[in-house]
Structure 1
Amino acid sequence: MQLAAAHLWLRDNDLGTVVQATRLGGGDICATWYIETDLQQRFCLKVLETAPADMFHSEAASLEAIHNTGTLPAPVVFEAQAQFLAMEYIAAGTPAGDYWQQLGRGLGLMHRQPAPHFGFGSDNYCGTTPQPNPRCDCGFDFFAEQRLLYQARLAQRRGLLSSGDCQGIEQLAARLPELVPEQPPSLVHGDLWSGNIHINSAGAPVLIDPAAHWGWAETDIAMTRLFGGFAEDFYRAYLAVNPLAPGWEQRLPLYNLYHLLNHLNLFGRSYYGQVRSVLAAFQ
Structure 2
Amino acid sequence: MSEPATRLTGHAVTGTRRLSGDLTEAVLDDGRVVVVKRGHGTGATAAEAAGLRWLASAAAVPVPSVHGQDEDWLVIDRVPEGRPTAAAAERLGHGLARLHAAGAPAFGAAPPGGPAEAWIGRAPMANATGEDWATWYAEHRVLPYVREAADAGTFGPAEVTLFERACGRLPALAEPPSRLHGDLWNGNVLWDGRDAWLIDPAAHGGHRETDLAMLHLFGCPHLDRVVAAYQEVSPLADGWAERIGAHQLFPLLVHSVLFGQSYAGQAVAAARSLR
TM-score, normalization: structure 2?
Answer: 0.90
| Counterpart among 217, 227, 231 of residue 218 in structure 2 | 227
Q: Deviations over 1:149-193 (max 9, x none)?
A: 1111111122211122112111111222xx343221000111112
Which deviates more, 95-104 or 248-257? 95-104
Residue 24 of structure 1 corresponds to 19
Aligned positions of 1:133-152 closer than 5 A: 133-152=127-146
Query: How far did residue 280 of structure 1 move?
Result: 2.4
Aligned identity (percent) is 31
Residue 11 of structure 2 corresponds to 15
Runs of 4+ with deviation above 6 angstroms = none
Aligned positions of 1:79-118 closer than 5 A: 79-118=68-107
| Counterpart among 165, 172, 187 of residue 179 in structure 2 | 187
Change (3 A) 1:83 1:141: same
Contact 1:193 1:224 (C-alpha < 8 Å) held by counterparts: yes
The amino acid that maps onto 1:279 is: A
The amino acid that maps onto 1:15 is: H
Residue 233 of structure 2 corresponds to 241
Residue 109 of structure 2 corresponds to 120
TM-score, normalization: structure 1?
Answer: 0.88
The amino acid that maps onto 2:196 is: P
Aligned positions of 1:29-68 closer than 5 A: 31-38=22-29, 40-48=31-39, 51-68=40-57
Change (3 A) 1:151 1:10: same
Residue 169 of structure 2 corresponds to 175
Residue 209 of structure 2 corresponds to 218
Contact 1:126 1:191 (C-alpha < 8 Å) held by counterparts: yes
Change (3 A) 1:118 1:35: same
Q: Deviations over 1:75-119 (max 9, x none)?
A: 111222333210122322233551111000000111122322111
Query: How far did residue 9 of structure 1 move?
Result: 5.3
Contact 1:180 1:251 (C-alpha < 8 Å) held by counterparts: no
Query: Which 5+ residue runs of structure 2 have no aligned equivalent?
Result: none
Query: Which 5+ residue runs of structure 1 have no aligned equivalent?
Result: none
Query: How far did residue 203 of structure 1 move?
Result: 1.4
Residue 63 of structure 2 corresponds to 74
Residue 257 of structure 1 corresponds to 249
Contact 1:77 1:85 (C-alpha < 8 Å) held by counterparts: yes
Q: Deviations over 1:121-160 (max 9, x none)?
A: 3332111111111121111121110000111111112221
Contact 2:5 2:75 (C-alpha < 8 Å) held by counterparts: no
CA distance in 2: counterparts of 1:241 and 1:106, whole angstroms: 9
Contact 1:72 1:106 (C-alpha < 8 Å) held by counterparts: yes
Query: How far did residue 8 of structure 1 move?
Result: 4.5
* Aligned-partner SS, 2:26: strand
The alignment of Structure 1 onto Structure 2 pairs a total of residues equal to 269
Contact 2:34 2:75 (C-alpha < 8 Å) held by counterparts: yes
Query: How far did residue 268 of structure 1 move?
Result: 1.5
Contact 1:15 1:41 (C-alpha < 8 Å) held by counterparts: no
* Aligned-partner SS, 1:190: coil
Contact 2:67 2:77 (C-alpha < 8 Å) held by counterparts: yes
Q: Deviations over 1:229-282 (max 9, x none)?
A: 442111110011111111111110111111111101111211111122122222
